[in-house]
Amino acid sequence: MADLSLSPLFRRQWPSTYESLQDCRPNRSKLMDRYLKEIPINDSLYVTLAIDHTANPRLNSPTLKDRGYHHSPKNFQKVTEGHNYSTIAWIPEEQGSWALPLRHERISSFETPISKAAWQLKQVRKRTKFPILALLDSEYGNASWVNQTVDIEVDCLIRIRSNCSLYGAPSQYSGRGRPRKHGDKFKLNDQSTWWSATEMVQINDNKLGEIKVKKWSHLHFRNSASVPMTLILVERLNSNKKGLLQKPLWLVFIGEEILSLELLWSKYLRRFAVDHWYRFIKQRLHWTMPALSTPHQCERWSDLMPLITWQLWLARDIVEENYLPWQKPQTNLSPGRVAQSMLGLLVEIGTPAKSPKPRGKSTGWQPGKKRNKRTRYPVVKKRKSPEKKPKTNQT
pLDDT tens for the 395 residues of the chain, in order: 566 666 777 777 666 777 778 788 889 999 999 999 999 877 568 899 999 999 999 999 999 999 999 888 765 568 899 999 999 999 999 888 999 999 999 999 999 999 999 999 999 999 998 899 999 999 999 999 999 999 999 999 999 999 999 999 988 888 888 888 999 999 999 999 999 999 999 988 888 888 999 999 999 999 999 999 999 999 988 766 666 677 899 999 999 888 889 899 999 999 999 999 999 999 999 999 988 989 999 999 999 999 999 999 999 999 998 888 998 998 889 999 999 999 888 888 888 878 877 777 778 888 889 999 999 999 998 876 555 555 555 44
Longest Cα–Cα distance in the chain: 89
Angle at CA of residue 133, ends 46 and 152, nearest 5°? 120
Sign of CA dihedral 333, 336, 337, 340: positive
SS (H, E, C) 238-267: CCCCCCCCCCCEEEEEECCCCCCHHHHHHH
Would you list the domain boundaries of the chain? Answer: 25-170+184-323+331-349
Supply the DSSP symbol for 37.
H
Q: How many CB atoms lie within 10 A of CB 107?
A: 21
pTM: 0.89
CA distance 346 to 341: 10
Residues in the chain: 395
Q: Shortest CA distance to 98 belongs to which of 328, 364, 334?
A: 334
Q: What is the CATH number of domain 25-170+184-323+331-349?
A: 3.90.350.10
Q: Which residues, 6+ apart, have CB-to-CB distance to 49 below 8 Å?
A: 88, 89, 90, 91, 102, 121, 124, 132, 133, 134, 135
Q: Which residues, 6+ apart, have CB-to-CB distance to 153 below 8 Å?
A: 125
